[in-house]
Structure 1
């Protein structure tokens, strides 16, 4: 089978080796393993830093094109000039291909979608990695692409993979997912909800992700006497701005005097057990909110930056069957910057790190934070849930469905309505397994900082509920594995969906 992949994702050369953004490579290696020949059409240049990974298969053909951009007059003129040539290239390659795979949303995918109308008998799949929520506010070009791909003219031989499940969609829209881990990676992670609270951010430090809101949340927690620490994994244009912001955060005497675990001994204890099969999940639902509101108060304080041990690293126990083994203390990743306020190491900026380093951080964190304005499938949230982290996330795209929480109610009320009043349990790991239900919320919806602080205060006083959320999160996430993801790709290639 000849596969044609059309994407705005750049494929770059390094000493003759083809490489691209690591998650993109991981998925496309699966696609290429089931076809005889693959051709990529897309850019081969990119000016910003990327977390790169070489493709396992290097025998594919890359036909480079210029990126179509319309954010400035000069780039718009160049793009208009390039469009006729790109249309000819797309038409020629589509004619040769047995299966056409578009990666949307993007300007190149949009152009390819229009050209593909001439090949209605060809097998076509569209991976729409953006927000498919029909009620969300999106750029005009994104709305046009969704209308094009949902058109009845596409329905016959085309499948559009969209994240989440939405009502009133055309028959060719297929609810889809993305996987990061194998079935063999399934375990039960038991978190000890001890002070200081560990909150992790994983992703690009950009305006769309709103990482500054995590700094404000940490500041607000300290003002309410709750000791908390934030760890940022990733790089981006906001890095220096965030470091400067972190240096201005006031840590109150009350929160500093609160009992805390020794960072060198570990701030959260994670227990792992083999999981054979995840439980059933809740019925999807969604009620996205289009904007975030924050309540901020700033205080200036003398700052300094002092190296110290990684506050996320901790002693962990991994239980496989009935055997317990203690792992040695994790070493702090290299090139890690720590911004401190007074005597509390409240913020740590790790930069881009390998996947295994991030996985260790997931295991030791209590919460994962994501306040994006727009998402498709928030991979960092799904990965963190796999390891038992409870998400604190904005209600965009399929996030309310993932978290089993549309954000209408505060956490206390949500628990009372969904599960009823019940007594705290003594053994969180064993007893909570009996009462975790499909209705259990798997995360907190983030819309206002004060409301999130109230929810976290309530969880601190009801730690058995935190354990239930953590277990519900990992049960849901661990149903999406690389093996099942590959099976779905094969179905798409064979047009079986």
Structure 2
């Protein structure tokens, strides 16, 4: 089988290998275990290989370079207009050669590939939609357009579209899927942390965690406010923040102004092992994000019995079973503090929630992910 990938991920060529964004490459290498030939169609950059980058692993891999393009402004759209003939031609020729078309969406390259694949109704196809599939959510027009094409059984045929979560009013093209971070061998016995409410003679810490980019979209500032409000109500709390971003200065200034240095600790970017240890030692993960695809940190925290408290975006309600495996933030500080207090004050509720979260997340291992990919490719190969 000749497997063709259409992706917006920027690639780097070094010493005969093709590198790209690590989490994406790691996932694609699982797919590549079960195909004979690979053709990658995507943009190429001259930057250095970064620490987070990984290389594709396949002995018969070809790379088709396409020009970088953007649709973020009028001037960029105008430039893209003149690049369209090349973009369409390269993708068309690639699709004609391939046996299986694999689209990575949403993204600029995915948008063009969504249009070109219409010309190949009999080709076997899969698409990984790595964003928020919620049709009701506010998203860029290009994202909505890609979802419309992929969901349309007249325009898009012989396609399995892998989306995060389960959604109503979807066509037969749509298939709920997932992403994994840990394997079966990573599973270790974890004792659910006790939640001991502080009293006159008891000051056990309740440990909160934030993992992610310190950006406006992830809203780390709200996580700080939430923990501060609990502290003001007499709870012994800490918040460990892992990540960097343009909001760090704002968060740091607030921590200093509010005398929260002993309560909120900014760790910056740390390796996976350090973050894993933080999951294992924390009671709650806070994710007040504006938008998510598959919130990896939520699944990772749950894997280690750390209860997620996150906004109701994308597939988060599905992941936390609408409050049975974690909490849902309303982004109303008073309400969210009250909901957390309800959980903190009843240790039995917390323990049940943490146990359910861990049991659910541990179903979705890398081993299971690979078996599902293998089954999907075998099933598609029969068509």
- Which of 185, 201, 204 aligns to 2:210? It is 201
In the alignment, does 2:337 pair up with 1:453?
Answer: yes
Question: Deviation of residue 202 (structure 1)?
Answer: 1.5
How far apart, in 2, do the equivalents of 1:49 and 1:372 lie? Answer: 29
From 253, 270, 295, the counterpart of 1:353: 270
User: Which of the residues 294, 297, 305 maps onto 1:380?
Assistant: 297
Which of 311, 315, 332 does residue 398 from structure 1 map onto?
Answer: 315
| Equivalent residue, structure 2, for 1:469 | 353
Residue 17 (structure 1) shift = 4.4
Provide the C-alpha distance between the structure 1 equivalents of 2:122 and 2:370, rounded to a whole number of angstroms.
25
Distance in 2 between the 1:393 and 1:455 partners?
A: 12
Structure 2 CA distance for aligned equivalents of residues 346 and 144 of structure 1: 45
Whether the aligned pair in 2 keeps the contact of 1:11 and 1:42 (CA below 8 Å) is yes
Q: How does 1:325-340 map to 2 (within 5 A)?
A: 340=261
Q: For residues 258-294 of structure 1, what are the alpha-carbon distances to aligned partners after superposition, in whole Å with 9 as ceiling and x for unaligned?
A: xxxxxxxxxxxxxxxxxxxxxxxxxxxxxxxxxxxxx
Q: Which residue of structure 1 lines up, in the alignment, with residue 200 of structure 2?
A: none
- Asked if the contact 2:18/2:56 (under 8 Å) is kept, the reply is no
1:234 CA displacement: 2.0
Structure 1 residue aligned with 2:170? 169
Counterpart CA distance in 1 for 2:353 and 2:257 is 33
Greater RCO (CA < 8 Å, at least 6 residues apart): 1
| Cα distance, 1:17–1:237 mapped onto 2, change above 3 Å | farther
| Alpha-carbon separation, structure 2, partners of 1:4 and 1:218 | 47
- The superposition leaves residues 84-103 of structure 1 with CA deviations (integer Å, 9 ceiling, x where unpaired) of 11100000111111111111
The answer to whether structure 1 residue 244 and structure 2 residue 244 are counterparts is no
Report the equivalent of 2:88.
87
* Structure label with greater radius of gyration: 1
TM-score norm. by structure 2 comes to 0.91
How far off is 1:54 after superposition? Answer: 1.9
SS class of match (2:322): coil
> How big is the shift at 1:188?
3.9
Contact kept? 1:459, 1:465, Cα under 8 Å: yes
- Pick closer, same or farther for the CA change 1:61–1:217 going to 2, 3 Å: same
Distance 1:102 1:450, change over 3 A: same
Shift of 1:155: 5.2
How far residue 167 of structure 1 moved from its aligned partner, in angstroms, is 1.7
Aligned partners of 1:72, 1:48: CA distance in 2, in Å? 27
CA distance in 2: counterparts of 1:12 and 1:455, whole angstroms: 47
Q: Would you say the 8 A contact 1:39–1:61 is kept in 2?
A: yes
Tell me the number of residue pairs that the alignment of Structure 1 and Structure 2 aligns: 371
Per-residue deviation, 1:67: 3.1
The answer on whether the counterparts of 2:12 and 2:49 sit within 8 Å (CA) in structure 1 is no
Alpha-carbon deviation of 1:141?
1.4
From the two aligned structures, give the one with the greater helix fraction: 2
Assess if the C-alpha contact under 8 Å between 1:17 and 1:54 holds in 2.
no
Counterpart of 1:211?
220
Unaligned runs of 5+ in 1: 252-339, 407-440
Classify the secondary structure of the residue corresponding to 1:452: helix
Q: Give how far 1:494 is off.
A: 2.6
Supply the distance in 2 between the matched residues of 1:198 and 1:47 (Cα, whole angstroms). 39
Q: Structure 1 stretch 70-79 or stretch 475-484: which is displaced more?
A: 70-79
Alpha-carbon distance in structure 1 between the residues aligned to 2:134 and 2:327: 20
Are the aligned partners of 2:310 and 2:327 in contact in 1 as well (CA < 8 Å)? yes
- Bigger Cα displacement from structure 2, 377-386 vs 38-47: 38-47
**Which residue in 2 is equivalent to 1:319?**
none
Task: Indicate the residue corresponding to 2:199 in structure 1.
Answer: none
Q: Is 2:64 the partner of 1:52?
A: no
Q: Deviations over 1:204-254 (max 9, x none)?
A: 222211111111112211221222222222222222232223222245xxx
Q: Secondary structure at the match of 1:152?
A: coil
2:136 corresponds in structure 1 to 135
Q: 1:338-365: per-residue Cα shift (whole Å, max 9, x none)?
A: xx1xxxx222222222222211111111
Deviation at 1:51, TM superposition (A): 5.8
Contact 2:317 2:328 in 1 (8 A): yes
